[in-house]
Amino acid sequence: MKLDFKCLKCGCEKYYVRTAILPEKESGLKIEMGTYYLKICSECGYTEMYSARILNKDKKKEKDNSLEPKTESNS
Ligand SMILES: [Zn+2]
């Protein structure tokens, strides 16, 4: 996983990533297990949580976009 990160609390750019499995209760009684990425600031411990399901969705979108010719002006 590659995400830009700057800690909201202390501005540190160092972090480590952990994966967490959490139960997700949707409408009804069914409980599914969802995967989350935790980005933990190595300085103060502030944690951001991302849904892996949505991140993976974005990845697919990026793939579709990469089929189009790239226009890079500020390189
Ligand atoms: Zn921090």
Q: Please tell me whether the overall predicted TM-score, pTM, comes out greater than 0.85 for this model.
A: no
51 belongs to a structural domain: yes
- Give how far Cα 72 sits from Cα of 30, 69, 75, Å: 46, 10, 6
Q: Cα of 31 to ligand 1 centre, how many Å? A: 33
Q: Cα of 45 to ligand 1 centre, how many Å? A: 6
Mean pLDDT by 10 residues, the chain (75 residues): 77 93 84 92 94 80 58 62
69 belongs to a structural domain: no
- State the total domains in the chain: 1
Is the separation of the CB atoms in 34 and 21 below 8 Å? yes
47 belongs to a structural domain: yes
5 belongs to a structural domain: no
Q: Cα of 35 to ligand 1 centre, how many Å? A: 23
53 belongs to a structural domain: yes
Q: Cα of 7 to ligand 1 centre, how many Å? A: 5
What residues make up the domain containing 26?
A: 15-60
Q: Which of 34, 33, 46, 35 is nearest to 5 (CA)?
A: 46
pLDDT at position 10: 95
Q: Cα of 22 to ligand 1 centre, how many Å? A: 24
